[in-house]
Amino acid sequence: MLFKLSFLAIAGFFAAFIDAIAGGGGLISMPAYLMAGIPPHLSLGTNKFSASMGSLTSSYNFCKSGLVNFKLIKILAPFTFIGAILGVKTVLLLDESFLNVFVLFLILAIGIYTIFSKNIGAEDNFTGFNKKNLTLGIIFAFSLGFYDGFFGPGTGSFLVFGLIKIYKFDFLHSTANTKCLNFISNITALLTFALNNSINYKIGFIVAIFMVLGAKFGTKIAINKGSKLIKPIFITMSLAVALKMLINLI
């Protein structure tokens, strides 16, 4: 049991560290739970519990840094929340497998586009809000909230990329705002798992401690190093998510 907890704690630390910088931490933490012999339904819920603690930490630290646009979050967060609730309810009724190919194509396209777009996210060119970008942001926030509640893989990558394209943020500011929106949908899904008794709290609390530490360290590195560090990690994690989904399909 001690070896299992140590393994999960280390995996959780690195998962939260990577997730705080560019998203995609679930690629590390979720397989770790399964490798440790935790049943799939408990792995999903327990991972969401510990990951949410890490997400809360990175969101808080980004908020303190002054990189979060609170006006934007106030507008978009309710739509993310509503979308996530509807997504969770929908997943109970429909087979999510049909989304695999579509999402694989999208996230692969994002990763490749970012590789060849040298200037994307390099500078913060946000100039304010207008009717067009607020409308696009609301639709985007609702859609990604729904997607995260319904399916999930690549949500962080989609959010970072979308906020860059809609609001002209650099990678650092986009990541900061993404963590806040992603935390909203994470908490919504977490409550659903809790109501269905799908969380091992004993393991979850221990791993959560290390995920909080990883998230705190990752956020600090991201803030200090900025977009030059975030962009290559973002590309790596986007392609890694796509690769994992492709392997699952084969």
DSSP notation for 190-225: HHHHHHTT---HHHHHHHHHHHHHHHHHHHHHHHHH
Model confidence at 218, pLDDT cuts 50, 70, 90, reads very high
Domain extent listing, the chain: 2-249
- Say which DSSP state 213 is in: H
Give me the residue label for tokens 């959010």: 159
Residue pLDDT, tens place only, 87-99 = 877 766 765 566 5
Average pLDDT, the chain: 86
HSE (side-chain half, CA atoms, 13 Å) at 127: 4
* Average pLDDT rounded to a whole number, residues 7-20: 93
Predicted pLDDT at 98: 60
Q: Measure the CA dihedral 192/198/202/206, to 10°.
A: -60
CB 54 within 8 A of CB 20: yes
Q: Give residue 32's Cα distance to chain centre.
A: 17
Model confidence at 206, pLDDT cuts 50, 70, 90, reads very high
Count CB atoms within 10 A of the CB of residue 131: 7
Q: How far is CA 54 from CA 29, 122, 124, in A?
A: 12, 26, 26
The token duo for 178 is 């993404």
The token duo for 98 is 């049909």
Predicted pLDDT at 123: 84
For residue 151, pLDDT beyond 70: no
Model confidence at 144, pLDDT cuts 50, 70, 90, reads confident
* Average pLDDT rounded to a whole number, residues 75-101: 77
d(CA 194, CA 141): 24
Predicted pLDDT at 100: 64
Instruction: Choose the weakest-confidence range: 72-86, 155-169, 185-199.
Output: 185-199
Predicted pLDDT at 13: 96
| Amino acid found at 174 | S
For residue 223, pLDDT beyond 70: yes
